[in-house]
Amino acid sequence: MSRRQTSEKDGRGHSQRQLRVGEELRHLLAQLLERGNMRDPELRDVSITVTAVDVSPDLRNAVAYVMPLGGSDEPRLLAALRRAAPWFRSRVGERAGLRYAPEIRFELDRTFDEADRIGALLRRPDVARDIDEK
């Protein structure tokens, strides 16, 4: 159920540097969204959680997984975030201390939906019966 893919090159997961940079970018994006200094009125006064940031091996591309709190109009907010991506890139580039500011792509985090779906499956009577027979 993890978003994280293994690297095609060596079959291992993300490097420590990728994980560290991803976590730093997640914190920076969360701070920017918390302050609400964006020009786009669709991004003001909206609570958006940045759940994870996956960074490419060369640290030039990043996918930020976001979730609007309250599930309010996800497509509209995602479109607004994508419009504001260059602004986020420049602000993150100023603060991250990286040689290159990564290109940021925003995606909705669907892991919570998947967890709910699996939980509902496990609560079904026929599945619960099979689990309890052990």
DSSP string for 11-76: S----HHHHHHHHHHHHHHHHHHHHT--S-GGGTT--EEEEEEEE-TTSSEEEEEEEEGGG--HHH
Give the predicted TM-score (pTM) of the model: 0.76
Average pLDDT taken over every residue of the chain: 83
Sign of CA dihedral 88, 97, 101, 104: negative
In the predicted model, what is the mean pLDDT of residues 55-74?
Answer: 88
For domain 16-109, the CATH class is alpha beta
pLDDT in tens, 83-125: 999 999 999 988 888 888 999 999 998 877 777 788 887 888 8
